[in-house]
Amino acid sequence: MREQFDNQLNEFYDKLVHLGNIANEAFHKSIQSYNTLDKVLAEEVIDNDVNINNLSVEIEAEAYRLIALQAPVTDDLRKIFTILLASNDLERIADHAAAIAKSVKRAKGEDPGEEEMRETLNQMAELAQGMLADILQAFMNKSDEGVTEIAKRDDEVDALLKQLFHQAAKGMRNNPDIVNYGIGYLNIGKSIERIGDYTTNICERILYLTTGKMHELND
């Protein structure tokens, strides 16, 4: 009986890892679509978001099923709730990837070539992508090693968003023709910043899983 339950928990855990991988892929594709103004790729990200949402719902249903049918002990219950909460975070990350793709779809005409803002956005994206990749690896390894350091990188993402706001305000003031693109840059920047926040949440989930204690890593 215990062996069967352990197998179910492992399959449940694997399902979360799969969700993480496809959410991560959606984020990468959304940034790629932004950098190349590839509206076909952006549409792919948007269309696939429903599949990610469905998988998140499936994980939630499985969590409640395991709790109802197996009456798990404390450690098992902690694992189930950790997976459930992390699933919600990953689903929101995918939503923000879709939001980035929608900004690409809305873009009209040629990018005005505001290199300063583009560079800041790509720095933000690179940081957030690194955070997400590292935290997914930690989840796969069931290890909290380096998790606190991963969360600290979110401060850099936040600082870059502030920098982007200053750059956008200056750019739009000096050149009203870039207002639409400037707003698009800001929307994408805010989505990347939120992805960093949700990744930090997942850092907290892993620490809860491994220590049994709640940790607040988001200032």
Q: What is the pLDDT of residues 187-200, one digit of tens each?
A: 999 999 999 999 99
The helix/strand/coil state of 37 is coil
Q: What is the average pLDDT across 115-119?
A: 89
Rounded Cα gap, residues 163 and 166, in angstroms: 5
Tell me the two tokens of residue 105.
Answer: 């779809």
State the pLDDT confidence band at 106, using cuts at 50, 70 and 90.
confident
The two structure tokens encoding residue 174: 């000096």
User: Do 205 and 82 contact (CB within 8 A), yes or no?
Assistant: yes
Compute, in degrees rounded to 10, the torsion defined by CA atoms 161, 165, 166, 168: 130
What distance, in Å, lies between the first and last C-alpha atoms of the chain? Answer: 43
Measured torsion, CA atoms of residues 71, 52, 134, 149, in degrees rounded to the nearest 10? -70
Q: How confident is the model at residue 111 (pLDDT cuts 50, 70, 90)?
A: low
Tell me the pLDDT tens digit for each residue of 21-31: 999 999 999 99
The whole-angstrom separation of Cα 172 and Cα 62 is 49
> Counting every residue, how long is the chain?
219
CB 117 within 8 A of CB 167: yes
Averaged pLDDT, 76-90? 93
89/94 Cα distance (integer angstroms): 9
**What confidence tier does 217 reach under pLDDT thresholds 50, 70, 90?**
low
Checking if the pLDDT of 173 tops 60, the result is: yes
Answer yes or no: is pLDDT of 142 > 70.
yes
Look at residue 112 and tell me whether its pLDDT is greater than 60. no
- Using CB atoms within 10 Å of the CB of residue 151, give its burial: 0 to 12 exposed, 13 to 18 middle, 19+ buried: buried
DSSP 109: S
Q: Where are the domains of the chain?
A: 1-211
Write down the pTM of the prediction. Answer: 0.93
Mean pLDDT of all residues in the chain? 90
Bin 213: left if φ > 0, else alpha if -120 < ψ < 50, else beta: beta
Q: How confident is the model at residue 6 (pLDDT cuts 50, 70, 90)?
A: confident
Flag whether pLDDT at 123 surpasses 80.
yes
Superfamily of domain 1-211: Phosphate transport system protein phou homolog 2; domain 2 (1.20.58.220)
Q: Which helix (H) or strand (E) holds 195?
A: helix 179-211
